[in-house]
């Protein structure tokens, strides 16, 4: 899996343009049209490799930055939890080791489907805030079922539902790219969110302590609470971004 990641990374380096000017699949008229839209309408600018200190100060003072950090931490604790303990959780449902390993296989396809559907809905209808907030409802239902259900099939389906909230990180990254002006500020804000994502993935596994095995109710309750909190935080970011100016 690591080798596949490295190879795909090399493909991205050489095949994916890093800005409009080097975009090989656009003609000159299309490049001019996009640049006009980026600079004049969105005001997010084009790629600039010069590091600007004033943008760092602006980034730190901008409450929007810390809201992105907060939503990433809150929404992605579930990623660290189910990413590390997915097989262990499945074992507690009554499946054996072999079955638990096999039952992780559909997750990749499920995540691709969730991300594809949500990104296409955002692209078509444009309401990023509501569509992202809606991703946490399946996770909330899944967390509740995991806490109360004795059925191993029901628990398994509930575990799969948690990946809806986990997949929200895709829309968080897209949100930052569409709402951050200045290359230095965008780079640093993205880095802070990536660090927050990593911290969340460290916190998640720590929820599963030996004393709470095999039910791991404290971990499931924390997942439920953080997914519930992600909805008002997401809505607040959307409202704040719309009316702050």
Is the pLDDT score of 184 beyond 90? no
Is the pLDDT score of 225 beyond 80? yes
CA angle 192, 194, 199 (to 5 degrees): 95
For residues 64 and 92, state if they share a domain.
Answer: yes
- Say if CB 73 and CB 200 are below 8 A apart: yes
For residues 232 and 174, state if they share a domain.
Answer: yes
Give the model's pLDDT for residue 49: 63
In a domain, 78, yes or no: yes
In a domain, 45, yes or no: no
In a domain, 87, yes or no: yes
The number of domains in the chain is 2
Calculate what percentage of the chain has a pLDDT beyond 90: 52
The token duo for 186 is: 């965008």
For residues 102 and 35, state if they share a domain.
Answer: no
Q: Is the peptide bond before 52 cis (omega within 30 degrees of 0)?
A: no
For residues 14 and 97, state if they share a domain.
Answer: no
Give the model's pLDDT for residue 39: 59
Q: At what angle do helices 152-166 and 136-148 cross, to 10 degrees?
A: 150
pLDDT in tens, 114-142: 999 999 999 899 889 999 999 999 999 99
What is the span of the domain harbouring residue 12?
1-40
For residues 109 and 224, state if they share a domain.
Answer: yes
Please give the C-alpha separations between residue 129 and each of 108, 180, 201, 215, 233, in angstroms, as whole numbers. 25, 16, 23, 34, 10
Phi/psi for 180 (5° steps) reads -130, 120
């Amino acid at each position: 899996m690591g080798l596949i990641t490295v190879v795909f990374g090399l493909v991205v380096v050489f095949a994916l343009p890093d800005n409009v000017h080097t975009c090989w699949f656009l003609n000159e008229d299309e490049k001019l049209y996009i640049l006009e839209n980026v600079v004049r309408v969105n005001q997010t600018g084009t790629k600039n490799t010069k590091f600007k200190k004033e943008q760092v100060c602006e980034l730190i003072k901008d409450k929007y930055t810390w809201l992105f950090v907060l939503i990433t931490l809150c929404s992605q604790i579930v990623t660290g939890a189910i990413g590390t303990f997915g097989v262990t959780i499945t074992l507690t449902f009554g499946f054996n080791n072999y079955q638990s390993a096999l039952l992780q296989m559909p997750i990749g396809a499920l995540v691709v489907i969730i991300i594809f559907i949500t990104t296409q809905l955002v692209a078509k209808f444009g309401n990023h805030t509501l569509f992202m907030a809606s991703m946490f409802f399946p996770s909330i239902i899944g967390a509740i079922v995991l806490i109360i259900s004795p059925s191993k099939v029901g628990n398994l389906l509930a575990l799969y539902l948690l990946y809806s909230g986990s997949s929200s990180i895709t829309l968080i990254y897209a949100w930052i790219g569409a709402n951050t002006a200045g290359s230095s500020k965008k780079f640093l804000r993205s880095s802070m969110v990536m660090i927050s994502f990593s911290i969340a993935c460290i916190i998640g596994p720590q929820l599963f302590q030996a004393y709470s095995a095999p039910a791991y109710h404290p971990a499931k309750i924390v997942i439920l609470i953080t997914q519930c909190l992600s909805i008002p935080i997401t809505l607040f970011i959307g409202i704040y971004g719309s009316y702050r100016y």
